[in-house]
């Protein structure tokens, strides 16, 4: 696969990918000047090549090899080796690029700041609270969970991110990227694999402003995931250090730890059902479980009310993998002598999910039996 870094302007960088499956172009722009060289495209293209090619060649627009520093070369190989050992659908690939001449011993700050990815979610607020004194910039990205083309949903999210950053006394950087519009058609799994390299791409783009970028932790460290404390630091360059906030706290613990923090409770956004007018839909599992965790912790939130209606609890789509958390919530609320109508609704929702799980188990066994007889 060949990746040609294209010249745009001081705020925009792009790459053209010539793959065995056609030609694709990805573009990333930011509200601040960005690194328009090859460095930001190393994680973004290396992770794609691992899925669809046996080698990666990174060039400039003049057709000559683009320069990549030795830290990035070694890091990409290390990250690739971990992904290849985790995921059967990818292989480590060789990278063909020029060697950038540098012998940097440590990342020079040069008056640059420390950024933190900031989606307005629980993990973001948890990481921001923990590193509040170090962080100078919050990074809000469109084109990952929220598409830039989602119109009012994207506008509302940017507006809230700006308001939250102002409350927190931090500068907001808004980044727009189309990398996912390349990785999705090439079937590079998101978030299981491409999420981490895509975040690293954005972090490296911000080299003129930031010398380190914090990636809030998401799944437990035992989960093989695209953004992981073992992998993310390997995407660092000699100019930008990536720091995975390796706080392995359980999500309800994280929620408890931000439930007494006004900025988090004012702006938290956990919902992936993108209803612009409601911000959080307050009906899906993520919304309801987060609201109930805030209730367990005794918090209150303008963005996600912990006063959840019993009918909403009964109507919530509850999958078998959600049962453990919902049972934990019910048991805590029962210990706190919470409203009996809320407890009864939780009992009904949990019993319904157990019933569906048993039926699914029977259906799976019947299917297997039929398959074996064919
Ligand atoms: Zn929701």
Q: What is the pLDDT of residue 276?
A: 59
CA–CA distance, 262 with 117 (Å, rounded to integer): 19
pLDDT at 251 over 70: yes
Among the ranges given (243-247, 354-358, 370-374), the one the predictor scored with the smallest mean pLDDT: 370-374
Q: What is the pLDDT of residue 101?
A: 67
Compute the distance from residue 350 Cα to the ligand 1 centre, in Å. Answer: 18
The structure's pTM equals: 0.92
Strand order in the sheet with 137-142: 94-96, 55-59, 2-6, 12-19, 22-30, 171-177, 137-142, 113-117, 210-216, 241-245
Q: Which domains does the chain have, with CATH numbers?
A: 2-245 (3.40.50), 278-362 (no CATH)
Q: What is the pLDDT of residue 105?
A: 53
- Give the pLDDT confidence of 334-353 residue by residue, as tens digits: 999 999 999 999 999 999 99
Query: Span 15-27, mean pLDDT?
Result: 94
- Give the pLDDT confidence of 81-93 residue by residue, as tens digits: 999 999 998 998 9
Among the ranges given (137-141, 216-220, 266-270), the one the predictor scored with the smallest mean pLDDT: 216-220
Compute the distance from residue 366 Cα to the ligand 1 centre, in Å. Answer: 34
- Give the pLDDT confidence of 150-190 residue by residue, as tens digits: 677 788 889 999 999 999 999 999 999 999 999 999 999 99
Q: What is the pLDDT of residue 140?
A: 97
Compute the distance from residue 291 Cα to the ligand 1 centre, in Å. Answer: 10
Q: Where are the alpha helices (DSSP H) in the chain?
A: 41-52, 70-86, 122-130, 152-168, 180-183, 195-205, 251-258, 262-267, 285-296, 310-315, 323-335, 340-373
Q: For residue 373, name the pLDDT band (cuts at 50, 70, 90).
A: low
* Percent share of the chain, pLDDT over 70: 95
Fill in the DSSP letter of residue 65. Answer: B
CA–CA distance, 19 with 17 (Å, rounded to integer): 6
Compute the distance from residue 277 Cα to the ligand 1 centre, in Å. Answer: 12
Compute the distance from residue 101 Cα to the ligand 1 centre, in Å. Answer: 49
Compute the distance from residue 221 Cα to the ligand 1 centre, in Å. Answer: 25
């Amino acid at each position: 696969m060949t990746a040609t870094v294209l010249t745009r302007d001081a705020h925009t960088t792009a790459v053209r990918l010539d793959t065995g499956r056609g030609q694709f172009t990805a573009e990333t722009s930011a509200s601040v000047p960005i690194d328009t060289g090859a460095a930001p495209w190393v994680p973004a293209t290396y992770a794609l090549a691992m899925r669809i090619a046996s080698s990666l060649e990174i060039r400039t627009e003049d057709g000559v090899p683009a320069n990549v520093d030795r830290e990035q070369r070694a890091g990409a190989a290390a990250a690739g080796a971990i992904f290849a050992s985790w995921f059967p659908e990818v292989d480590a690939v060789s990278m063909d690029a020029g060697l950038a001449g540098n012998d940097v011993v440590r990342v020079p700050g040069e008056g640059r700041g420390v950024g933190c990815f900031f989606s307005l979610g629980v993990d973001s607020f948890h990481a921001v609270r923990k590193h509040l004194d170090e962080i100078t910039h919050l990074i809000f990205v469109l084109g990952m969970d929220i598409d830039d083309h989602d119109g009012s949903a994207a506008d509302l999210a940017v507006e809230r991110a700006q308001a939250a950053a102002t409350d927190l006394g931090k500068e907001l950087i808004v980044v727009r990227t189309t990398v996912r519009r390349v990785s999705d058609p090439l079937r590079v799994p998101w978030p299981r694999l491409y999420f981490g390299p895509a975040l690293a791409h954005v972090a490296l783009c911000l080299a003129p402003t930031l010398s380190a970028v914090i990636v809030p932790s998401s799944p437990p460290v035992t989960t093989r995931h695209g953004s992981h404390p073992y992998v993310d630091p390997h995407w660092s360059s000699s100019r930008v250090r990536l720091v995975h906030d390796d706080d392995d706290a359980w999500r309800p613990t994280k929620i408890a730890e931000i439930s007494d923090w006004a900025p988090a409770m004012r702006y938290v956004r956990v919902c992936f059902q993108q209803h612009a007018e409601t911000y959080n839909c307050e009906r899906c599992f993520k919304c309801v479980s987060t609201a109930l965790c805030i209730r367990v912790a005794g918090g209150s939130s303008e963005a996600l009310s912990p006063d959840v209606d019993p009918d909403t609890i009964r109507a919530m789509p509850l999958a078998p993998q959600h049962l453990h958390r919902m049972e934990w919530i019910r048991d805590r609320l029962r210990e706190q002598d919470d409203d009996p109508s809320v407890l009864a609704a939780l009992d009904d929702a949990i019993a319904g999910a157990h019933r569906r799980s048993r039926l699914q188990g029977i259906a799976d066994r019947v299917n297997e039996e039929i398959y074996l007889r064919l």
